[in-house]
Amino acid sequence: MPEIPKHAKFLAETKSDGKKSDEVLAQNPEELKKQALKVYVEKYYKTKKQAQELKQKDPKKATEILKTAGQILDDIKELKETSAISDIKKISEKYKLKDVMLVDKETSEKVKDFENFYKEVFGMEVDLSEVEIPEKKEGFDRLIILVPGMTPQKLYDKCAEQFSCNKWTKTDLDKIVKSERTSETNAYAVWFRDRVEADDELKDKSADELEAEGILGITLEERLIYELKYFKETGNHLDISNITLCSGSRYSDGDVPRVRWRGGRLEVYGSHPVNRSDGVRTRAAVILES
């Protein structure tokens, strides 16, 4: 059996009107069928493996899971024999799955690269195959993935292992930083513009103004993992001339984290949410739509 690409998968979400699903199905039913088969084959082998792992510990549960694997196998056989959109929809809806997320080869490689990054930098074996990747917007080519355990202080400490760093407080950052997005319970992915300096399009905008305009900005955790990833790739650093305003995070006193590279070191500090200047910009984030 050939290796199944991990990132061609269905999203476990439904749209209230179902329109998007119909549009995707109508575009290319054969491609949809191809991707659906990849999903179900992968699901079948994962389910079968789960049953095998439980065989000694919980034989009854293992038998139930094997039945599920058999049902999935039946669906695979049925899917192979049809090209009708209605049949593909029916099989998909059995699992309450509506939309197809076709992740391109380049994105799949970025995900795999992050698995290698976590292994090499943090000594962590991570499987990112189940992480849902947000739809990429034009110009947003830098994928960042955070996994559980990537807290502000842990990321800062890892940066300090790699290069000189300074932060404005001796307090543990985990105790004073609150972010809009975290990987506390689940890994997640986010897209940014792939550039050294923070977004010129968003210069001279305070955190309060960005919030009022509904612009999602980078968190402190995302900015630090971006620094680590970029340093590993190039040996260089971000924000040489300007400052990233981490508008997706707040310190406990209400100030907004800022990050820059100055004087041969990474600096983490902050400012009041109304402060703004040309050299301070957030990095716009593209996240998974809820």
pTM comes to 0.69
pLDDT digits (tens, 9 = 90+) for 7-57: 333 333 333 344 444 444 444 566 667 777 777 777 777 888 888 888 888
Residue 239's region, left for phi above 0, alpha for psi from -120 to 50, else beta, is left
The residues pairing with 260 across neighbouring beta strands, listed in sequence order, are 267
Q: Tokens 């209605």 correspond to what residue?
A: 86
The residues pairing with 270 across neighbouring beta strands, listed in sequence order, are 257
Rounded Cα–Cα distance for residues 198 and 237 (Å): 12
pLDDT digits (tens, 9 = 90+) for 101-156: 446 778 889 999 999 999 999 999 999 987 889 988 999 999 999 999 999 999 99
- In this prediction, residue 280 has a pLDDT band, given cuts at 50, 70 and 90, of very high
